[in-house]
Amino acid sequence: MNNDLKIRKSTIGDFDGIKDILLCGKKFLKKIGSPQWQDIEAIQEKAKKDIKNGFSYVVEKDDELVGTVALVEGIEPTYDRIYDGHWLNDDPYVTIHRVASNGKTSGIMNAVLKYAECRYDNIRIDTHEKNVVMRHILEKNGYTYCGQIIVADGTYRVAYQKIITPHLAR
């Protein structure tokens, strides 16, 4: 993990920076052939709700916003049904959503995973099957492929989960 990266809860004052980072994420996903986030206004509105609900975090390096993530506690409705597989358990979980970086700073996803793993025992995340970068990072960090879910727009996402052994993570 990049030790220069710090993660903290977002405030509404961070929103303009988060919007810029999400736009970088949209461009990256388009470049790698993933259709995720191409409706950037909808993603930015979700990010604003994440801030209001206390789920939004920013990643900083040298007091500059370089990444963003939502750690959503509670039930993710799109995870109620999983196809071609199954979740590792039915215990309460946190969902990692809307991870993005400024495209210039490395290690953001690894920092986000480490941050979440130190705070939660059960983590779920999904991504588009074409997001091979995210899939590689998840698998490298011990996340188990569990199957596919269908998101609100009717498209499929590949779903992963990791159960943290409490004494190892903290």
pLDDT digits (tens, 9 = 90+) for 106-115: 999 999 999 9
pLDDT 10s digits, 81-121: 999 999 999 999 999 999 999 999 999 999 999 999 999 99
47 close to 15: Cβ distance less than 8 angstroms? yes
- Is the pTM above the cut of 0.75? yes
What band does 3 get if pLDDT is binned at 50, 70 and 90?
low
142 token code pair? 């011990």
**What pLDDT is recorded for position 36?**
86
pLDDT at 168 over 80: no
d(CA 56, CA 142): 24
Asked whether the predicted pLDDT for residue 14 surpasses 80, the reply is yes
- pLDDT tens per residue across span 31-46: 988 888 888 888 899 9
